[in-house]
Amino acid sequence: MPGFVPRSVAGTKRPHAHRCAPQPVPPSASVDPTVEQIEGAAPLAAVLMNWVSPWWCAQRTDPLATMVNDAVKAGTPIHAARIVACAGAHALGCTSVHDVAAALRHLAPLGAVECQVAFHAPCQPSTVFIENAVEHASDALTIATSLLAVLHSTPRPHGGQPRIYAVYPPSEYGTAPAVPPTTCMKHAFVVLDPDAAQTLTRFWGWDTPRDWLPKQVPAAVAHAVYHHLRCLPIHRWKILVDEYIAWHRDLVLQNTEAAKARAARASISLQLYPLHTIVALAMGPHERTQAAYKAALARLLPNGVDYVEMDAGQACVFVRCATGAAAARLVTLTWG
């Protein structure tokens, strides 16, 4: 495999064939990964998906991003050997040309990069929040592949090949981190072409009914329905985040004021109850004996009870408290 060409996110104009013709790779430098190598390269592909994404490279200035950005502008392919030789690539796991070539095979169906052939993307990719993108927390490649299967099985008014550029974990305002993450996630932000984003928000929207589904659906759609996959455009996500922050701020304020009020009441009650205050407790039809009450109160108020006495009809228990604090605590526990 000679290499891959990053799909441009800056425009749709194709370079002239004679000006930016891809330089052929010498036969000795060509790589052709085996089936076993391709299958074993999935973890590396999950890392490279975001690191070589033209969308993410356009926001970075590291050597790998610079190489991808230059290739996007020139419309020329990048050989796998150049990725291995790039500074910082070894830290990502790019130590073998065959492994990198095998990893790129996993990325080709996503449309952000394509082996051998150069092609271009729309100018403004869209970001969509996906809830329950997968059943269990998974890497970016697994989420992208699963979402691609859902898109292929969903009616697409505009047709065309869906293109997925990046997958990153949720953040407060949907902002992508400066360094592409390699963490696993269940919910994610996904950067894709506008047509694919419109398909998701139309058929898999936050509150969209699933009445468009036929009785027999492909496995990918069945899994998405079962696990309650749904999505939001990033601008609606930000609105919900603002609403949540405002609600949380009000809730914290209410709880703080309530705590202050309780503390004030407790402070007043401690001052109101004198020494040896007698507290009367009403009894139910099947309550404890006087001895049982005394033992329970002794555990509840250590050194705080002088004596416990029941009335003749056993409808009330009188507790004489040794201190005002013990009386206040007993009243607080019984009346709230």
Q: What is the 3-state secondary structure (H, E, C) of the chain?
A: CCCEEECECCCCCCCCCCCCCCCCCCHHHCCCCCHHHHHHCHHHHHHHHHHCCHHHHCCCCCHHHHHHHHHHHHCCCECHHHHHHCCCCHHHCCCCHHHHHHHHHHHHHHECEEECCCCECCCCCEEEEEECCCCCCECHHHHHHHHHHHHHCCCCCCCCCCCEEEEECCCCCCCCCCCCCCCCECCEEEEECHHHHHHHHHHCECCCCCCCCCCCCCHHHHHHHHCCCEEEEHHHHHHHHHHHHHHHHHHHHHHHHHHHHHHHHHHHHHHHCCCCCEEEEECCCCCCCHHHHHHHHHHHCCCCEEEEEECCCCCEEEEEECCHHHHHHHHHHHHC
Cβ pair 167, 144 in contact under 8 A: yes
pLDDT at residue number 132: 92
Distance between CA atoms of 136 and 170, rounded to whole angstroms? 15
pLDDT at residue number 7: 58
Q: What is the pTM of this model?
A: 0.66
Tokens 């919900």 found at: 240
Give the least confident one: 91-100, 118-127, 195-204, 276-285: 118-127
Task: Give the tens place of pLDDT for each residue, 51-88.
Answer: 988 888 888 889 988 888 888 888 788 888 888 888 88
Distance between CA atoms of 120 and 72, rounded to whole angstroms? 9
Instruction: Tell me the backbone φ, ψ of residue 210, rounded to 5 degrees.
Output: -100, 30
β-pair type (126-131, 113-115): unpaired
Residue 5 reports pLDDT greater than 60: no
Q: 28-32, 245-249, 276-280: which has the highest mean pLDDT?
A: 245-249
Residue 25 reports pLDDT greater than 80: no
User: For residues 19 and 81, which has the higher predicted lDDT (pLDDT)?
Assistant: 81
Residue 278 reports pLDDT greater than 70: yes
Percent of the chain topping pLDDT 70: 83
* Domain boundaries 126-235, CATH class: alpha beta
Residue 16 reports pLDDT greater than 60: no
Residue 27 reports pLDDT greater than 50: no
Task: Give the tens place of pLDDT for each residue, 203-247.
Answer: 999 988 888 887 778 888 888 888 899 999 999 999 999 999 999
Tokens of residue 122, six digits: 């729309």
Task: Give the tens place of pLDDT for each residue, 158-167.
Answer: 777 888 999 9
Task: Give the tens place of pLDDT for each residue, 109-130.
Answer: 887 776 554 434 445 789 999 9
Residue 169 reports pLDDT greater than 70: yes
pLDDT at residue number 270: 60
Task: Give the tens place of pLDDT for each residue, 279-303.
Answer: 988 876 666 788 888 888 888 898 8
What contacts 24, CB < 8 A, 6 or more positions away?
A: 2
What contacts 182, CB < 8 A, 6 or more positions away?
A: 46, 47, 139, 140
pLDDT at residue number 23: 46
pLDDT at residue number 214: 79
